[in-house]
Amino acid sequence: MKQQKWIRITNCENIPLREGRSLKIGECEIGVFNLGDRFLAVENRCPHQGGPLADGIISGTAVVCPLHAWKIDLESGAVLKPSDTTNCLHAFETRIEDGIVLLDISGLETTRSEEEISCSLTPQDLETQKTAT
């Protein structure tokens, strides 16, 4: 069984309801989406031509790419539309702890530490949390 590697991403309120935000870990950009009752995360790179999925529109548990409207399932990373596409993105496990979104990055080939994560969210919030614990 693979060992999970959880990192703290941001406060839940920094990702508005039914919107996505992106963050970068090493070379991998990840889109994190607020579905209301949970957060889902996939690679932020549309399998069609690399569109930024975090800027797409959430539809159910899927996101519609802002470039050419491919539809990606946020739970599995699979392409739902067009239906004849077998491409799949990596989907990351998430959880919430004390109002903070955590992401399991054990699937990433990276040796980078949490401090090297660049995030379009508000990393300073995480700094506040770190010093508070």
* Residue ranges in contact with ligand FES by CB under 6 A: 46, 48-51, 65, 67-70
In the complex, the smallest distance separating the C-beta of residue 19 from ligand FES, rounded to whole angstroms, is: 17
Nearest CB to ligand FES, comparing residues 87 and 106: 87
In the complex, the smallest distance separating the C-beta of residue 46 from ligand FES, rounded to whole angstroms, is: 3
- Which among 41, 40, 1 has a CA at the least distance from the CA of 24? 41
Considering Cα of 25, then 47, then 75, then 32, what sign does the dihedral take?
positive
Strand order in the sheet with 20-25: 91-92, 39-43, 28-34, 20-25, 118-119
**What phi, psi does 123 have (nearest 5°)?**
-60, -25
> What letter does residue 115 receive in the DSSP assignment?
G
In the complex, the smallest distance separating the C-beta of residue 130 from ligand FES, rounded to whole angstroms, is: 35
Residues 6+ apart with CB under 8 A from 1: none
Nearest CB to ligand FES, comparing residues 18 and 68: 68
Nearest CB to ligand FES, comparing residues 50 and 60: 50
In the complex, the smallest distance separating the C-beta of residue 51 from ligand FES, rounded to whole angstroms, is: 3
In the complex, the smallest distance separating the C-beta of residue 47 from ligand FES, rounded to whole angstroms, is: 8
Nearest CB to ligand FES, comparing residues 46 and 102: 46
CA distance 71 to 64: 4
Nearest CB to ligand FES, comparing residues 65 and 101: 65
